[in-house]
Structure 1
Amino acid sequence: MDFQLIIYLGGGLVAGIAVGILLRKRLVEGHEANINAQGKLIIETAISQAEQIKKESLLKAKEAAYKQKQNAEEEIRKEKLELKEELQRLGQKKEQLKQEWTTLDTRRSDQEKHSEYLKTQEKELLEKNKEAELLIGKQRFELEKLSGLSQDEAKKMLMESLESEARMDAAKRLARIENEMKMEADRKGKNILALAISRYAGDYVADKTVSMVPLPNDEMKGRIIGREGRNIRAIEAATGIDIIIDDTPEAVILSGFNPVRREVARLALLQLITDGRIHPARIEEVVEKVTKELEVVMREAGEQATFDVGCHGVHVELINLLGRLKYRTSYGQNVLQHSLEVAFLCGIMAAELGIDVKMAKRAGLLHDIGKAVDHEVEGSHAVIGRDLAKKYGEPEAVVYAIGAHHEDQPPQSVLDILVQSADALSGARPGARKEMLQSYVKRLEDLEAIADAFEGVDKSYAIQAGRDLRIIVDSQKVKDGEATLLSQDIAKAIEEKLTYPGQIRVTVIRETRAVQYAR
């Protein structure tokens, strides 16, 4: 049973396996058939889509080709129109050129005819000129024969006459124009100057730097000299100032170009005399102390000057230099006081003329700043001051005005002229400056000598302290019109040959006197 069962089960298993294999085979075959059918369907669909795409592409290509053809035909049509228009324009241009060529031919023919005519006229003119020259020669010969003058002599007389007439006419016109301008300028200038002077009330007498030290007695001279001259040598070495001890009673003279050092020596010597202890160590101590005190005084003087004028932002070095001007004099006039006067006068005149008052005051205050170091630096104090102002950052207008206030460079603006005028006004007022009698008399003599050197001058007089030169001329040698030219020539000669403060007025006087006696 068991064996049969096994056989039966084995046969059933084999049959099952066989059936499974058959079923699997049929399934595979069915799946393959399904796959083949799907593949065939996909291929057919792809072929159909490709055909459709092909048709659409052909259609689009045909449409594009059609559009390109239309565009090309349109462009060809436009080009044909343009060529047609260009041909028409060329035809018109050709006709115009033909007409112009015809016109040019006509003109050339006319010009040839005109040229022939001009040649004929030229020949006739040459012949007439020859005839005219012959006639002029005959007339000239007759004129020379009648007048007794040659052609060159007559021409010279005519040129001299014309030159004299032109010179007289120019002098008359110049005199008329100058009179008109002077009347207007004098009126405005006098108003401005009068107002400036009336508004600025400066002292008439300025302080002079002291160069003499009084002594309590003559015995003090010996103490100042010291044993074997050691004290006086110590003072001179410490201050750089020469001490002159002579027969002057109860006085010692200080000599030196540097005014600040001279002031240091004066103050130190006064302190030593008051203290009574005079020896080299004490001298060095007192000089050092006085130097520091004087630096403070000078700085305060410079600050006070800028404060009085209203100048702000001035460099500290320029303030110190301003303070040094307190001990500097020019023709006996204190330079710091003079600078303040110039600043105030510049400000007043600038206000009247409507220009920057602060800038004018600044230029006036600093115009003589070069005098603080002119004994140490070579050159004109105006040029030195200009360089200092430029170095310490002053405005360009102020720098140029400082350099131009003594004509070291030509004035370019109203500010430059204002500083020049205020400087001359401050130096020329009564009592401002002192001058040695010898140099004063010599300047007057030189003025008169310059005027006397000109032809036609009869007498000359320097009056008003040499600020006015009156010249009397010979009425037979100098005409009215020539008087103006003579005054200008004399003024130029004075400017070239003399050095003087302010300005000098030159007045030429011409008069004719007729005298008869009744008997």
Structure 2
Amino acid sequence: EIRRIADNTKAEADQLVAGILSTAIQRVAVDYVSESTVSVVSLPDDEMKGRIIGREGRNIRAFEQASGIDLIIDDTPEAVVLSGFDPVRREIARLALEKLITDGRIHPGRIEQVIEKITKEMDSNLIKIGEKACMETNIHNISPNIVKLIGRLKYRTSYGQNILRHSMEAAWICGILATELNLDQELARRCGFLHDLGKAIDHEYDGSHASLGANVARKNGESKIVVNAIEAHHEEVEYQSVYAVLTQVADAVSGARPGARREMLETYMKRLTKMEEIANSIEGVNKSFAIQAGRELRIIVDPVSVDDKHTAFIASDIAEKIEAEMQYPGQIKVLVIRETRQTAIAK
């Protein structure tokens, strides 16, 4: 009877959770942009390429030096390519080049002047973007430093998913889940909204985006609950509140739903299969499972041939092999589990 009640309770809980998550997803509709490290600028004609290059390449050198972005000019008709990993710099370079092309005056002095002006305009624009996002998600009393970083997220993508839109979606999902669970909706939205803050600066500093974002939030007066939710959303530290759990759930729901992120299914499956093959090639490994969209590799080892001390070496060896043999975005967590079970039968 107790087992029947437990099974019924579990089934009802699963249905309730599924209902809450489906409601959260249905109430959120967000567009996404494509992930890219290049921007294409159209030209009125191919003669403009020569003017952009300048005599002995002086214009293109001045542009690359002032913008910090590579300007690629090839045989592509009526187009040039801007390449760089800093999305904000690349956007500044794109706007500056379009202005130079429209203006027609292209020389080193003018190039530096235009890029400097666009850079100042971009700083102001980032603040406006951040303020608008805060208003749309109904989040208030955020430090101006954080608002500007939020604006930078508009030009940052992950797997093709725009990080600013993803952060806003995570905020709404957190808020809906908090309402269903009778928690503080505003605090939950704040945690979801700021969880990927570190991605605005992770190309400039060492460390994971979760730890970078948590440090920024801590320095700018965010509460301990918000800081922990940011730092724990990829399980790098322990959860200290239910809001950290909601933040991780919202992040996973937003990133995992169909159409949110762009990655060819074949490439995705090959990456997960390769991760499991690397793990299974290690002596003592019984099973391995790539989970959380390839962010975590969970490994079950043979408890007879592998002792507790050896599990640490297995985790390290697998992580090193993945780093050496695979290309992947972000980080992959390698978790090794050694479980022993003892059975006795009473007759």
**TM-score, normalized by length of structure 2?**
0.77
Partner of 1:222: 50
C-alpha spacing 1:229/1:181, structure 2 compared with 1 (3 Å): farther
The Cα RMSD (Å) is 3.5
Cα distance in 1 between the residues matched to 2:8 and 2:277: 31
Cα distance in 2 between the residues matched to 1:448 and 1:177: 38
- For residue 230 of structure 2, the aligned residue among 394, 402, 411 is 402
Q: Which has the higher strand share?
A: 2
- Equivalent AA in structure 1 for residue 33 of structure 2: A
**Structure 1 residue 455, shift from structure 2 partner:** 9.3
For the residue of structure 2 that corresponds to 1:211, the secondary structure is strand
Aligned pairs for 1:488-499 (under 5 A) are none
Partner of 2:243: 415
Per-residue CA deviations over 1:21-42 (Å, capped at 9, x if unaligned) read xxxxxxxxxxxxxxxxxxxxxx
- For residue 432 of structure 1, the aligned residue among 260, 279, 286 is 260
Please say if 1:320 is aligned against 2:148.
Answer: yes
Cα distance in 1 between the residues matched to 2:47 and 2:226: 53
Aligned pairs for 1:47-446 (under 5 A) are 182-203=10-31, 205-206=32-33, 208=35, 211-435=39-263, 439-446=267-274
For the residue of structure 1 that corresponds to 2:274, the secondary structure is helix
Cα distance in 2 between the residues matched to 1:279 and 1:197: 51
**Structure 1 residue 195, shift from structure 2 partner:** 1.3
- Equivalent AA in structure 2 for residue 404 of structure 1: A
Per-residue CA deviations over 1:117-163 (Å, capped at 9, x if unaligned) read xxxxxxxxxxxxxxxxxxxxxxxxxxxxxxxxxxxxxxxxxxxxxxx
- Equivalent AA in structure 2 for residue 353 of structure 1: L
For the residue of structure 1 that corresponds to 2:41, the secondary structure is strand
Unaligned runs of 5+ in 1: 1-174, 468-492, 503-519
**Structure 1 residue 445, shift from structure 2 partner:** 2.3
Cα distance in 1 between the residues matched to 2:106 and 2:227: 47
Is the 8 Å Cα contact of residues 333 and 434 (structure 1) preserved in structure 2? Answer: yes
Identity %: 58
**Structure 1 residue 250, shift from structure 2 partner:** 1.8
Unaligned runs of 5+ in 2: 296-314, 323-327, 333-347
Is the 8 Å Cα contact of residues 243 and 253 (structure 1) preserved in structure 2? Answer: yes
C-alpha spacing 1:294/1:456, structure 2 compared with 1 (3 Å): closer
**Structure 1 residue 179, shift from structure 2 partner:** 6.1
Per-residue CA deviations over 1:475-505 (Å, capped at 9, x if unaligned) read xxxxxxxxxxxxxxxxxx9xx8688999xxx
**Structure 1 residue 242, shift from structure 2 partner:** 1.1
Return the index of the structure with the highest Cα Rg.
Answer: 1
Cα distance in 1 between the residues matched to 2:329 and 2:52: 42
Cα distance in 2 between the residues matched to 1:428 and 1:265: 33
Per-residue CA deviations over 1:341-390 (Å, capped at 9, x if unaligned) read 11111111111111111011111111111111111111000000000000
For the residue of structure 1 that corresponds to 2:198, the secondary structure is helix
Is the 8 Å Cα contact of residues 229 and 243 (structure 2) preserved in structure 1? Answer: yes
- Equivalent AA in structure 2 for residue 376 of structure 1: E
Is the 8 Å Cα contact of residues 299 and 319 (structure 1) preserved in structure 2? Answer: yes
Aligned pairs for 1:460-475 (under 5 A) are none
**Structure 1 residue 405, shift from structure 2 partner:** 0.5
C-alpha spacing 1:179/1:254, structure 2 compared with 1 (3 Å): farther
C-alpha spacing 1:375/1:448, structure 2 compared with 1 (3 Å): closer
Aligned pairs for 1:35-46 (under 5 A) are none
Is the 8 Å Cα contact of residues 206 and 337 (structure 1) preserved in structure 2? Answer: no
Cα distance in 2 between the residues matched to 1:250 and 1:240: 23
Cα distance in 2 between the residues matched to 1:179 and 1:231: 72
For the residue of structure 2 that corresponds to 1:364, the secondary structure is helix
Cα distance in 1 between the residues matched to 2:279 and 2:236: 26
Is the 8 Å Cα contact of residues 206 and 432 (structure 1) preserved in structure 2? Answer: no
**Structure 1 residue 447, shift from structure 2 partner:** 6.0
Per-residue CA deviations over 1:278-333 (Å, capped at 9, x if unaligned) read 01111111111111221121111100011111111100000000001111111111
Q: Which has the higher helix share?
A: 1
Higher RCO structure (Cα 8 Å, ≥6 apart):
2
Is the 8 Å Cα contact of residues 243 and 255 (structure 1) preserved in structure 2? Answer: yes
Aligned length: 302
- Equivalent AA in structure 1 for residue 74 of structure 2: D
C-alpha spacing 1:381/1:352, structure 2 compared with 1 (3 Å): same
Cα distance in 2 between the residues matched to 1:177 and 1:250: 70
Is the 8 Å Cα contact of residues 233 and 248 (structure 2) preserved in structure 1? Answer: yes
- Equivalent AA in structure 2 for residue 418 of structure 1: L
Is the 8 Å Cα contact of residues 239 and 287 (structure 1) preserved in structure 2? Answer: yes
**Structure 1 residue 439, shift from structure 2 partner:** 4.1
Partner of 1:516: none
C-alpha spacing 1:190/1:238, structure 2 compared with 1 (3 Å): same
Is the 8 Å Cα contact of residues 35 and 159 (structure 2) preserved in structure 1? Answer: no
